Structure 1
C-alpha cells in the first residue's frame, strides 16, 4: 500500500468530491461524467474523492482513463447500509479483514492498481 506524504509545498490545492457522479447520461455532452472529471483536472483539480458506498467507482474508473497519473485518488469505505435501506439503518466496520476487502474491491471497481 502506498501512503501519500504531503508537505505544505506539495499538498494538493483543489479536490472534487464525486458522491453525485453517476452513469446517468453517459455520452450526453451535458451529463458525461468523463467530461466532468477531465474538465476538473484540466482546471487544476488534483484530488478526486469517491467511496464504495457511493456506488460509482466503476464510473469514476472509466472517467479516469487517460488522466489517472494527474490526480491523487481517494476512496472511502466502512459504512454499510442495513437491510431496510433506510438512511438511519447503517453501521461502520473497520476491522482489518473489512479494510483489506474494501480496498481490494475499490481497486477492482476503479480499474487502478493503487489508491493514493
Structure 2
C-alpha cells in the first residue's frame, strides 16, 4: 500500500503539470498568450518543484514551510483545472492529494 501511495503522489504531481498546461492553453486570449501560459506555466511549476520540493532539491523545505509549499503547489494545480472549466476533476485532484499526502505523513513517507 505504501508503494501505491507513492505512485499516486507522483501521478498527482504530473496531474498538476497537466492541469496548469490545460489552463494555459484554454485561455480565451490570443494564441501567443495561450502558448506562453500553456508551456510557461508548467515550466515554472517544474522549476519550483526542482528548487523546493524534489527529494534532492537544492533548497528543500521542511516542516510547516513544506506543508505550505505543497498546499500551494498542489492547490495551484486544482485551481488551474477549475479555471479551465473542469471543476469536478479539480475537486477530485484536491481530494486525492489530501488523502494521499495524509497517508504519506502517517506512514512517514
Normalising by structure 2, we get a TM-score of: 0.29
Q: Which structure shows the higher helix fraction?
A: 2
In terms of fraction of residues, the more strand-rich structure is: 1
What is the TM-score of this pair, normalised by structure 1? 0.28
Could you say which structure has the larger radius of gyration? 1
Higher-RCO chain (CA-CA 8 Å, sequence separation at least 6): 2
